[in-house]
Amino acid sequence: MSVMMHSVDEVTEMGCCGCFGFSFARKPKKEIRPNRGYGNSWSHEPLLQQEAEEVEDDGFDSGDIIDTGSEDDEVCHSPVKRYQEILMERAQNGLICREIPVKETHKVVRTEDEDGNKMVNEYVREHKIGAGSYGKVVLYRSCTDGKHYAIKAFHKSHLSKMRVAPSETAMGDVLREVSIMKMLCHPNIVNLVEVIDDPETDNFYMVLEYVEGKWVCEDSGPPCVLEENKARLYLRDIVSGLMYLHSHNIIHGDIKPDNLLVTAAGKVKIGDFSVSQVFEDDNDKLRRSPGTPVFTAPECCVGDRYHGKCADTWAVGVTLYCMILGKYPFLGETLQDTYDKIVNNPIILPDDMNPLLKNLLEGLLCKDPTQRLTLESVCQHEWFLGDEGPIPQFSCWCQRQKLQKDVQDGSAEDTPT
């Protein structure tokens, strides 16, 4: 099977991600919606070279920018405008998955240790491990518990001036990311440990658990093809984490290898919730698609309203394709050409591919979202099950609390007055 080769410049012109060892992008020719993922630990180049002088220690890098919607900023169901209300209502009803809340600190002390290493409060800076659209990701070590943490650092004034839509700023995106992560607790989700926001300074920090492993496409050797059994194990973790999000009416919005961390024990954790959305109920319709172009679902490319969960599932299919074949399923010479291929071109799979795997990929990459495999169907697929069988059922804290409350309410209703 012939393979169309593209140079780094050609790929970066289309805003493609860096999951195959590069993470570069050019300054966009027009202002469009940014893809806000941060680079991986083995691709330290900034996603966009800034003309302005970089802020010393924990500055900013702008990311790839795309827009698959129209010029207006219509969002069906208005998840961006209502996320505070939705999350507040969940918190009031005890529907938060964390038994231990995220630590909130409102004082920033920037010092140095005895070796001259920069410090933020109790955390000693070691080295940069990634760069994203809104800030850097830096490895720190806590003087309190001795553990390592990945800290995303931002400057509030910069983000407050950065428009990502007519009525939205980048700071709003970061605050939404924090709000969503505050309610999450799952073994396949990167954990938010602390938020440092000093009203007297311009600094804002997200302290995240440090995943000491790698990224799902790292160290597999060019062209980044993973052995089938390893890809299956990774996929099981991805689906488990994504099903957890969807069960809480959260759309990730940017599933791709760059946002999937592998621990030293080989477990995958989903990270980067900077474009995620939360919904009040199962009505997950969206208007705009802020994710990465080559992982964009067909229904998102044509500018119509689409279901976020279906789009996330398509991105899982593209990710599996990348892990197995080491390339993107649909990639054109230009951004528009890429979208045209996503919408119109058939999926091409090797003749000698495992028939079960081929069937799964065809189901995940079905262009009709109403016929596309659901994550629940994926969990029952023979290739997915492999020798491991069904994935373990995860009972989160808020679901257990809700069940207990429903039982109590039911008992109260059944009690004669």
Q: Cα(363)–Cα(383) distance, rounded to whole angstroms?
A: 12
Three-class DSSP category at 107: coil
CA 333, chain centre distance (Å) = 26
Q: Which residues fall in the annotated binding site for ATP?
A: 152
Point out the annotated binding site. Answer: 152
Can 254 be counted among the known catalytic residues?
Answer: yes
What is the number of other CB atoms lying within 10 angstroms of the CB of residue 85?
10
Query: CA-based angle 238:353:339, to the nearest 5?
Result: 60
Q: What is the pLDDT at residue 45?
A: 27
Give the dihedral sign, CA 377/382/383/389.
positive
pTM here? 0.78
3-state secondary structure of 91: helix
At residue 15, the pLDDT reads 41
The pLDDT assigned to 394 comes to 80
- Lateral strand order in the sheet of 214-215: 214-215, 260-262, 268-270
What would the 3-class secondary structure string for 269-315 be? EECCCCCCEECCCCCCEECCCCCCHHHCCHHHHCCCCEEHHHHHHHH
- Strand 285-286 to 277-278 pairing: unpaired
Q: What angle do CA 350, 354, 355 make, to 5 degrees?
A: 95
Considering 58, 61, 237, 254, which one is annotated as catalytic? 254
In the chain, the largest separation of any two C-alpha atoms, in whole Å, equals: 76
Tally the C-alpha atoms within 13 A of residue 176's C-alpha that lie toward its C-beta.
Answer: 24
Beta strands 192-197 and 103-105 are parallel
Find residue 120's DSSP bridge partners: 110, 123
Q: In sequence order, what DSSP letters do the residues of 17-83 get, joined into one string?
A: --TTS----PPPSS--PBP-----TT--S-SS--SSPPPTTT------B---S-SS---TT-HHHHH
Alpha-carbon dihedral angle through residues 170, 191, 91, 396, given to the nearest 10 degrees: 140
Whole-number Å distance between alpha carbons of 1 and 172:
46
* Confidence at residue 218, expressed as pLDDT on a 0 to 100 scale: 62
Rounded distance, CA 226 to CA 109, Å? 44
Q: What are phi and psi of 137, to 5 degrees?
A: -115, 120
The tens-digit pLDDT sequence of the chain (417 residues) is 433 434 333 443 444 433 333 232 333 333 333 333 333 332 222 222 222 333 344 433 333 333 333 334 444 444 444 777 877 777 777 677 888 889 999 999 999 999 999 999 999 999 998 876 687 899 999 999 999 999 999 999 999 999 887 788 899 889 999 999 998 999 999 999 999 999 999 999 999 999 987 777 765 444 468 899 999 999 999 999 999 999 999 999 999 998 999 999 999 999 999 889 888 777 788 877 677 899 999 999 887 788 999 999 999 999 999 999 999 999 999 999 999 999 999 999 999 999 999 999 999 999 999 999 999 999 999 999 999 999 988 877 677 666 766 777 775 455 444
Closest by alpha carbon to 36, among 146, 143, 130?
130
